[in-house]
Amino acid sequence: MTGLDWQRRLTEILAFSIGFLKNKVFKTAFNGYAVRFSPFVENRLAVATAQNFGIIGNGRQYVLELTPNGIVDVVGFDTADGLYDCTWSEDNENILVSASGDGSLKVWDVAAPPMANPIRSLEEHTHEVYSVDWNGIRKDCFLSGSWDDTIRLWTVDMPRSLRVFAEHTYCVYSAVWNPRHADIFASASGDCTLRIWDIREPRSTLVIPGHEYEILSCDWNKYQETVLVTGSVDKSLKVWDVRNPRQEVTRLLGHTYAVRRAKFSPHRENFIGSCSYDMTVCVWDYRAPEDALLFRYDHHTEFAVGLDMSTLVDGLLASTAWDESVFVWQQGMDPRA
């Protein structure tokens, strides 16, 4: 090999590695829909994606890792329909569940060879599954929320759901376990209500007609077991206390399009992250006396629909959007830096 060839080859390698290092961004093949940090491995995250904005086409479940060379994909599982959400098992660090547009839930084992995956395909929902959430207390079960208006309760060892919660009258966009009570969860729906459920009860225990428009997301405060946040098509977030459900605790305004996802910080009691069809990701302090909006991140160029906050690293955020990118950054820093 001549000196010139070496030079060229070296230049290529350098350009490649520097490119990764400089960009704390991962490009997905399809449009990003959801991102979740692993509860076990601090530099690992799962990303659910769908082709053609999730309207038609295939899906791919990614498992990504943060390395000094930037974000790299460890595994990619292809699916026949788009994937809208995903969640890690709280019990086994290699197990992952994706919510699919064809109504199925795909259970993956990251450690198993591709041929063996998905290790389960749970097919009961009659429409798109839009939300999955693993129980962080019991660790043996998870919830799925679907456009067939129902929420289903599953364990991986059962091919059928254990229970169907069918009270919502329109699409369920989000169903999330309470972080303190193993049997309590909340659900957000296009019927404009937020419902609180206790799986020991036959019916929902509380119905909050939370917004005038569809509610796309909800999440529990990780420190105050009775506090929730909802994000709605009405562009606002509302914080609720179930002890006083008549009136929201506060309303957070600042997004200019529908709020797609809202999440309470695992580390800061009063911090809420949100992402929106206005393409931005925002971090709020809902108890701030003056301006609740702490940060607005403008790094996505299409609808921002996936957001997560690491439970293992304080202030580490991840977002994904229909611009086919996944960003991981530290709160307060520029995601693009």
Partner 1 sequence: MAMRDLVMGGAACAVPGSDGASSSANPMGGLADSLLGGASKTQERLRELPGLAGPGQSADFGGRPRTSLPGTEFENEFDQRASANNSQFLRGFGRIDEGGFSDAWGDAVSGRMMPPVVQHDRQQEEAFRNFESLYPGLEARGRSPLPLDAPPQRVLAGFFRSFLDSSQADAPFNAIPLPELGLSEADKRRIRDRSSIMARHFFADRGEEFVNARVNALLHSLDIDNSLRFREPMGGRHPELEGYWNEAIGGRPGGGRLPDTWAEDFHKHYKGPEPGGWAQEFQAQHSTDSWVDQFGEHQQQMATRGQYRNGEVSNLAALEQTRSLVDTLAQNQDPKFQNSKFLQFVSKMSRGELIVEDNQVKPGVTNDWVNEYQERHLPPGEQWAAEFTAGEHQHRGDTWADEFARRNQEAPSTSDDWVNDFSRLHVQDWADEYAEQIAKNPYGDGSHESWLDSYDRFVGEQTADMQGRTESSKFMYVFADQNPYVGHPNPLKEGQELFRRGLLSEAVLALEAELLKNPDNSEGWRLLGITHAENDDDKQAIASMVRARDADPTNLEVLLALGVGHTNELEQAEALRYLAGWLQNHPRYSKLVPQDVSTLSHSEVIQMVNEAAMVAPEDGDVHTVLGVLYNLSREYDRAIQSFQRALELKPRDYSLWNKLGATQANSARSEDAIYAYQQALDLKPNYVRAWSNMGIGYANQGKYEESIRYYVRALAMNPKADNVWDYLKISLSSCAARWDLLDACERRDLEPLQTQYPLPSVSVTQQRCSCTHCSMGYTQH
Contact status: 251 vs partner 1 (CB under 8 A): no
DSSP one-letter string for 228-268: EEEEETTS-EEEEETTSTTS-SEEE---SS-EEEEEE-SS-
**286: closest CA among 217, 231, 324?**
231
What is the footprint of partner 1 within residues 296-335 (CB under 8 A)? 298, 301-303, 322-325, 334
Residues in 113-132 at the binding interface with partner 1, rule: CB under 8 A: 114-116, 118-121, 123, 127-128
**40 touching partner 1, by CB under 8 A:** no
Distance in angstroms (rounded) separating the CA atoms of residues 166 and 203: 9
**Residues 61 to 100 in contact with partner 1, rule: CB under 8 A:** 68, 76-81, 91-92, 94-95
C-alpha–C-alpha distance, residues 140 and 78, integer Å = 25
Of the two residues 154 and 271, which places its CB atom closer to partner 1 in the complex?
154
**Binding residues with partner 1: total (CB under 8 A):** 116
Determine, following the binding rule CB under 8 A, whether residue 291 of this chain makes contact with partner 1: no
State the minimum distance, in angstroms, from the CB of residue 47 to partner 1. 15
Binding to partner 1 in span 149-178, by CB under 8 A: 149, 153, 155-164, 167, 169-171
Q: Which of 55, 72, 166, 253 binds partner 1 (CB under 8 A)?
A: 55
> Using CB under 8 A, which of 38, 49, 51, 98 touches partner 1?
51
Please give the full DSSP string across 109-129, using - where no structure is assigned: ETTS-GGG--SEEEE--SS-E
Contact 272, 237 (CB under 8 A): yes
Pick from 104, 217, 230, 270: which binds partner 1 (CB under 8 A)? 104
Which of 23, 65, 223, 245 touches partner 1 (CB under 8 A)? Answer: 245
When binding is defined by CB under 8 A, the residue of 85, 109, 219, 308 that contacts partner 1 is 109
Pick between residue 208 and residue 318 the one whose CB is nearest to partner 1. Answer: 208
Q: Does 211 bind partner 1 (CB under 8 A)?
A: no
CB of 333 to partner 1, least distance (A): 8
Least distance to partner 1 from the beta carbon of 169, Å? 4
Answer whether 13's CB lies under 8 Å from 296's CB. no
CA 250 to chain centroid, in Å, comes to 23
Q: Does residue 223 touch partner 1 according to CB under 8 A?
A: no
Long-range CB pairs of 41-47 (<8 Å, 24+ gap) are 41/65, 41/93, 42/310, 42/312, 42/313, 43/67, 44/74, 45/308, 45/318, 45/326, 45/328, 46/86, 46/87, 46/88, 46/96, 47/86, 47/306, 47/320, 47/326
Nearer to partner 1, 201 or 314 (CB): 201
Q: How far is the CB of 175 from partner 1 (least distance, A)?
A: 15
For residues 38 and 318, give the distance between their C-alpha atoms in angstroms, rounded to a whole number.
12
Comparison of 222 and 300: residue with beta carbon closer to partner 1: 300
CB of 198 to partner 1, least distance (A): 5
Q: Which lies closer to partner 1 via its Cβ, residue 104 or residue 144? A: 104
CA atoms lying within 13 Å on the CB side of residue 64: 30
Is residue 257 a contact point for partner 1 (CB under 8 A)? yes
Question: In the complex, what is the shortest distance from the CB of residue 92 to partner 1, in angstroms, rounded to a whole number?
Answer: 4
Q: How far is the CB of 56 from partner 1 (least distance, A)?
A: 5
SS3 readout for 262-300? EEECCCCCCEEEEEECCCCEEEEECCCCCCCEEEEECCC
CB 52 within 8 Å of CB 103: no
Q: Are residues 311 and 275 in contact, defined by beta-carbon separation less than 8 angstroms?
A: no
Question: Is 203 a binder of partner 1 (CB under 8 A)?
Answer: yes
